[in-house]
Structure formats: C-alpha cells, structure tokens
Amino acid sequence: MTKEPFAFPDWINEFIPDDALFARAYQNSLDDSRAWMKTAIARLYDWYGPRKDVGGEISLRWSGGFDTKYTFDPVDFAVVLFDESIQSPARLLAALVPALAGGVKNVLAVRVGNSAPWRDAVLTGLELAGQEFVVDMTDVQARRLFNELRDSGTSGAVVVLGPKAAVIKFSELQSASRISFWRPRFSRAAVIWMDDEKTFDLEALAFMHPDIVFSLFGAKPFIPADNFSYEGDDFDEYLDAIMDVAYLSGQRVHHALKRAKLVLGPGQEGCWVWPDLHPEHFQFHRTAWTIGA
C-alpha cells in the first residue's frame, strides 16, 4: 500500500501571519543583526548537517544467537512550539534548524498565545532560515492541532520553547506513541567573563537575547541594556554564579565546562545550540530482534 504524503490540516492556514508582517520585520532589521542571524543558521547547519544519510537500515548478527535490524527515517512532520516569551531568534533557530537539516520535509513553527506583537528579529530569523510555514494560535487551537496530528498515526517530533507553549497534557503525551517531544531545561540566566571591556560584543548579545538575564564579571564594560548587570571582578564568584550558560574566552573554557551546560566564546554572540537536542529526535526509529532471520 502506498503511503499517503503527509500534510498539515488545512484549517491552520487561516492563522498564518500576513506576508506584510514578515516584509516589514525584514526591512526594520539592520544589516549587522541579519548577519548575526545568518551566522547562527550557518553554524547550526555545520553542527547538525545537512544530513546526507536521512534514512538507513542496520542489520547485525549477534554472538548470543539472534539477529537485529534497526531502521531510521526522518519523521513525517516536525513542530516547533514557542510563545511570546521567546524573544531570542538565536534560541528559536537552535530548535528549528535541526529539523530542517535532518531532512524533515514538513516543518511548522507555531507561536502559542497570539496576543503579543511579534518581535521583528524573531520573524526575520524565521525568514532567513527559510521557514515559510509559521502560524499564530491560541492554546486551544494548538491543542486541537496536536490532537489531530496524534490521531493521524504519522510520525512526528515536537520541540517546546516557553511556558505557554507547554499546552499538551501529560495524558495526551502518553497516547502519542509516534510523536517525540523535547523541551529545554535551562534557566534564563547567563554569566559573562570579560577579560577586557571588549571581550564580547554585548550589543549583539542584547539584540539576540533580550529575554536572558546576563551577569557580567571581570573588566567592567558599558552596560548595553536593562537585562545586564555588573557583579564584580572575582573569577571564583563568576564560576559560582554559573547555572547553565557561560560566556568566556577560549583559554578559560575548561573552567566553565565543569559547571555549565553551554559555553560560548567571543565571536559566538549571535549563536546558540541546545546541547541535548540531537538529530535522532527528528527521526522515527524501528527495531527488530529475530532468530534465524
């Protein structure tokens, strides 16, 4: 039996933002900010792919007297759920690009909440990544979409960013056997060590991550935005302040890697990666154990 090609439900098309919104956001963005986002996208593609082996099959015979077969293919669809609290194009792109690089043909970005104005940088980041299918939904509409995707019996992968995007109940998750879910467990805080006043481009960080609280240590720089504060020049205090994310120069990275989930050096101000969001999340896996096959 030929498998029907996957398509998202037609009713979600009415929630696609007007093209003029994307065009205005792009026009309002500066060349430098677009360059930061393009760099982020390019480095994510370097990290994740694009994969050439989008599907495969591995057969093995084991000394214990049995055979195994393992197959993998891109999922039929991927959905990136986020809410208006996600103002960082870098963190959104870090959730979106792995699906695109992994060969998923049907990728949908869903902003849940649809009450706040879009940030221009978020729309521009989506456009630069080539993500044309974007919708703006209420939590009720998002749950309806998920329920229909679950009942379709197709394989999928969902990424959830932001508290309001977590609209799917645990009981519904349990029944979605062909859909995998991932969400980051990161605090929205980061610490920065400044070897001198220009170690990091703080203006770039302020633009790319307006929703992160940055604590600065080391040389005291100009404070670019309200989400930055200077905390002193003691390196041990800097290390003690690390929760999940640390910024510092390459020669000091080994100190931070003992504590942080993500460490970013100078030149990576526009970039982000979710360390535990792996390409396998966007694949559908099948395993067979047999004897004498």
- For residue 53, being part of any structural domain is answered with yes
Write down the pLDDT at residue 144: 92
Given a contact cutoff of 8 angstroms between Cβ atoms, the answer to whether 289 and 68 are in contact is yes
Whether 1 maps to a domain, the answer reads no
- Asked whether residue 172 is assigned to any structural domain, the reply reads yes
CATH of the domain at 118: 3.40.50.1980
Shared domain check, 234 and 133: no
pLDDT digits (tens, 9 = 90+) for 264-291: 999 999 999 999 999 999 999 999 999 9
Domain presence at residue 283: no
**171 in the same domain as 193:** no
| Domain total in the chain | 2
Task: Write out pLDDT tens, residues 194-206.
Answer: 999 999 999 999 9
Structure tokens at 252: 């000091």
| Mean pLDDT, all residues of the chain | 92
Q: Say what the pLDDT of residue 1 is.
A: 47
Dist. CA 4–CA 258, nearest whole Å: 48
258 burial type by CB count under 10 A (0-12 exposed, 13-18 middle, 19+ buried): exposed
Is it the case that residue 293 has pLDDT exceeding 60? no
For residues 82-107, give the mean pLDDT. 95
pLDDT in tens, 29-83: 999 999 999 999 999 999 998 777 778 899 999 998 899 999 999 999 999 999 9
**In-domain check, residue 275:** no
- Asked if 44 and 136 sit in the same domain, the reply is yes
Sign for the pseudo-dihedral over CA of 149, 108, 39, 102: positive
* pLDDT beyond 60 at 24: yes
Alpha-carbon distances of 221 from 196, 217, 233, rounded to whole Å: 8, 9, 11
Could you tell me if 290 and 60 are in contact, meaning their C-beta atoms sit under 8 angstroms apart? no
> How many percent of the chain have pLDDT more than 70?
96
**Which of 13-17, 166-170, 204-208, 252-256 is the least confident region?**
166-170
32 and 171: one domain? yes
Among all chains, which residue has been given the structure tokens 């519904």? 172
Beta-carbon contacts of 244 under 8 Å, excluding residues fewer than 6 positions away, are 186, 187, 189, 190, 260, 261, 262
pTM summary value: 0.92
**Residue numbers of the domain that contains 237:** 189-264
Taking Cα atoms as reference points, which of 242, 190, 201, 192 lies closest to residue 224? 201
- Of 36, 9, 271, nearest in space to 137 by CA: 9
